[in-house]
Chains A and B, each alone.
Chain A
């Protein structure tokens, strides 16, 4: 079974600074996807960024980027120029690749606090 581990229950960063959220995973599959979701106080889940395991290039979406280390099974999220609106729970998630539509396996989340 796949597992996803987020070792930081809570992180705090000053506005405009950079913060990195950690995620490790365990799988025997070679084809899979990794995701970071944001859950603000409204509790709506929002996809932040995704990474396909077969792609060596790290994904980037504006201020959000990942450091994907496949051999180490590590998938960290870097948020640059942190903004107050970035404050939320962040979840790392895994999905098996290939066809079909399996469910996601989530980590327990990291609560990100942005200090003004």
Chain B
């Protein structure tokens, strides 16, 4: 089955430690995205990548880093510089072609990160 996987579902880290969240897709999508969700805040864009070896900052990129070495994978690192890292993190992917039903973003199940 095609889809997006995020692992782990729950992640706990001590304050000051970097942590990497995994996102893998087998939908053959060019574009991938990371969003953060806080209570009452909706989803906010952290980083996105339209093609391998290229990525752009979103609205709240400070304290985060990403890489896009493979089309299928877009890992997100939450660094110690992120002041409030505890949140729910969602990964998504889409095609990047212009078209009527293209560009729909498909979401993974999310990772709940808690920093103690």
Binding site for B on A (CB under 8 A): 6, 9, 33, 42-45, 47, 50, 52, 91, 93, 95, 98-109
Contacts and interface: CB of A to CB of B under 8 A. Distances in A.
A101 B42 contact: no
13 contacts: A43-B88, A44-B109, A44-B110, A47-B105, A91-B43, A98-B98, A100-B50, A101-B95, A102-B48, A104-B33, A105-B45, A106-B35, A106-B42
Given A43-B88, A44-B109, A101 B43 contact: no
A104 B45 contact: yes
Given A33-B103, A43-B110, A108-B40, A103 B98 contact: no
Nearest to A31: B98
B44 A106 contact: yes
Interface size class of B (residues with CB under 8 A): 20 to 34
Given A47-B104, A98-B98, A99-B96, A104 B50 contact: no
Nearest to B99: A99
A104 B105 contact: yes
B42 A103 contact: no
A108 B103 contact: no
Given A43-B110, A108-B42, A101 B104 contact: no
B30 A101 contact: yes
B113 interface: no
Interface in B66-90: 88, 90
A95 to B, nearest CB: 7
A52, A98, A104: residue with the most chain B Cβ atoms closer than 10 Å: A104
A104 B43 contact: yes
Given A52-B100, A91-B42, A93-B43, 13 more contacts: A6-B42, A9-B40, A91-B43, A100-B50, A101-B48, A102-B48, A104-B33, A104-B35, A104-B45, A105-B45, A106-B43, A106-B44, A107-B42
